[in-house]
Structure 1
Amino acid sequence: MSTTPAAATGPDLGGLPNGRVPRALREEQLLDTALSLFAASGYEATSIVDIAAAAAVTRPVVYRHFGSKDGIYLACLRRARSELDDRLASAVAPETDAEQRLRAGIGAYFSFVEEHGREWDVLFGGGMPKDGPAAEGANEMRHRTSALLTGLLKVSAPEVDAQRLEVFGSALNGMGVELARWWRRNPGITRDEMVEHYFALCWDGLRVYVP
């Protein structure tokens, strides 16, 4: 489950010459390439020069599509964030009970970690920007996970104090990040085992308030 940098990664360009690659396909290639580099080396240690070289394009091509390093970094985050949000939303069926929703949400989260390790590393791992627009955007997207979890808790326990649910949502988010970080260092543990560990930690506290 380790992360390794990839050069010229991304969609198959089918032998198209650089000047004839459709814009959408080029953007996907650049995002895949940048994501690998950000995951492996972090934001600060990755430059536009690195991204351009790994994608076998010139720097102006990267600037033309994304404007800046902050631009391509945030685009990587948005794409990864969208995938994670979609997985969580589709996994948690409103007609199930709270225990089933929690287990399904945890399963979806660890499926994302397992199948999209690079994306998780960029969203939640180390090597994040220290300040500026990229840091602000990254923090805002991470906070969205807490807000999403809080919203799911409100569905299960609408009578519980809103502030308490926000505290739980934030705690669940932080716990999930730390458990996933540990799992990335200990890949011998199965996904199902991680789901059970996370569920056991969460459920005893939550069921006092969630019917």
Structure 2
Amino acid sequence: MTRRVKSDGRAARWDGHREQRREEFVAAAVRAIDQIGPDASIAEIAAEAGVSKPVIYRYFADKSELLAAIGEWGAQQIADAILPVIAADLPPRDRVTAGVEAYFRTIEEHKHVFLLVVRHHDDPHGTVAGGKAMIAAGFSRILGDGLRELGLDAGGAEPWAHGLVGLGMTTGEWWLERGTMSREAMVRYTSEFIWHAFNGIAGEYGAPIAEVAPLRAVPPQEEQA
């Protein structure tokens, strides 16, 4: 007779505790970086979290791993701000402008965190790579749906989505570092660039977006009908 081993759930509880502590330390790191700047040290982050440096290193192998977690947090903040806006039931140009405004507003709220993340783009733990891929995937899905709704070739949605992510990173870094232009002006210039690029692409396919009915975000229940 095979003896059945009953799990006491301790491993699951530890995993949950560990993940919760990591999230708490990422939140503390964000607060410290917001206050001190992108050069905030692990000691300063630990002080903000109310622990010692060795405690931080129980949950993150090194500073690079902590930076990667901060990068994931930042990417999620950006995705949560932009994706619902550009998928909203609005005219296409309004969706572009609203998405660009949401992006610049979000990175301005955590200026030092954004600058820290983009400056460590070559980090071996993938500080930026995972977040870029997540946001680009969301852009690609929305672009592809919009192009197909217009009856156009959606094959370019993925590379164009990655191009948008790159544009956002470089213009965002320039704007935050230089500080010579208002957010309103950045939103206007960037949204004009993106709008005319995509309207021009649609025009190449014989269906300029400005000349067709506004794109409509289709609710999931309608898609399944």
TM-score (norm 2): 0.67
- How far 1:64 moved relative to its partner? 2.6
**For residue 31 of structure 1, what is the aligned residue in structure 2?**
29
Deviations 1:176-198 (A, max 9, x none): 22211221233131111101111
- What is the CA-CA distance between 1:128 and the residue it aligns to? 3.7
Q: Deviations over 1:107-149 (max 9, x none)?
A: 10111122111222133x2234443xx13x5312222222222
Deviations 1:1-42 (A, max 9, x none): xxxxxxxxxxxxxxxxxxxxx958952564236645996239
Matched, 1:113 2:107: yes
Structure 1 residue ranges, 4+ long, deviating more than 6 angstroms after superposition: none
Are residue 126 (structure 1) and residue 122 (structure 2) matched? no
2-side partners of 1:107 and 1:142: how far apart? 19
Larger radius of gyration: 2
The answer to whether the 8 A contact 1:31-1:75 is kept is: no
SS at structure 1 position matched to 2:82: helix
Counterpart selection for 2:179 from 163, 187, 196: 187
Give the root-mean-square deviation of aligned CA atoms. 3.1
Distance 1:143 1:39 in 2: 26
The number of residue pairs the alignment matches comes to 182
Query: 1:157: which partner in 2?
Result: 147
Q: Relative to structure 2, which stretch is displaced further, 53-62 or 109-118?
A: 53-62
Counterparts of 2:132 and 2:36, CA distance in 1: 16
Segments of 5+ residues of structure 1 without an aligned counterpart are 1-21
TM-score normalised over the length of structure 1: 0.70
Whole-Å separation in 1 of the counterparts to 2:22 and 2:136: 31
| Structure 2 unmatched runs, 5+ | 1-19, 203-207, 210-225
1:202 paired residue among 194, 205, 215:
194
The aligned residue for residue 91 of structure 1 is: 85
The alignment-based identity, stated in percent, is 22
